[in-house]
């Protein structure tokens, strides 16, 4: 049988437990809504504007850099698994792979894209 079936069961049980807990909480708790209670929390003062504030573009840059390194690391996993059985050739190959990307990190760094400004 496919072992992922059990992982799927974990997903299902992992959802049932919080749904059950929140459901019990929903049933037991009082329900007395009023406009003040339901308003957005802003440390006691009236909420100003909407909750969607604009963000620094920096978040996007870091997400982009992360994406590249995420993909890189995942490429390296099959390499790491077989490294014990392979010779120097594979090691050099992996090191070149990493160095090319570290060059990218250095470029990003030198361009000042890693500064939070």
Q: Please, which of residues 67-96 interact with other proteins by CB under 8 A?
A: 67-91, 93-96
Contact present, 79 and 94 (Cβ < 8 Å): yes
- In the complex, what is the shortest distance from the CB of residue 81 to other proteins, in angstroms, rounded to a whole number? 5
* Residue 46 in the binding site for other proteins (CB under 8 A): no
* Residue 45 in the binding site for other proteins (CB under 8 A): no
Q: Interface residues for other proteins in 5-44 (CB under 8 A)?
A: 5-19, 21-22, 24-26, 28-33, 35, 37-43
- In the complex, what is the shortest distance from the CB of residue 36 to other proteins, in angstroms, rounded to a whole number? 10
- In the complex, what is the shortest distance from the CB of residue 46 to other proteins, in angstroms, rounded to a whole number? 13
* Residue 2 in the binding site for other proteins (CB under 8 A): yes
d(CA 61, CA 65): 6
- In the complex, what is the shortest distance from the CB of residue 83 to other proteins, in angstroms, rounded to a whole number? 5
Give residues with Cβ within 8 angstroms of 97, minimum separation 6: 72, 75, 76, 79
Contact present, 47 and 40 (Cβ < 8 Å): yes
* Residue 51 in the binding site for other proteins (CB under 8 A): yes
d(CA 108, CA 102): 10
């Amino acid at each position: 049988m496919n072992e992922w079936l059990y992982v799927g069961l974990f997903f299902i049980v992992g959802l049932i437990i919080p749904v059950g807990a929140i459901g019990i909480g929903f049933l037991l708790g009082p329900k007395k809504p009023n406009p003040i209670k339901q308003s957005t929390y802003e440390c006691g003062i009236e909420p100003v504007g909407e909750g969607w504030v604009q963000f620094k573009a920096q978040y996007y840059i870091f997400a982009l850099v992360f994406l590249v390194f995420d993909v890189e690391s995942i490429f390296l996993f099959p390499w790491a698994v077989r490294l014990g059985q392979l010779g120097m050739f594979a090691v050099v190959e992996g090191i070149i792979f990493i160095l090319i990307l570290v060059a990218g990190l250095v470029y990003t760094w030198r361009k000042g894209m890693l500064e939070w400004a």
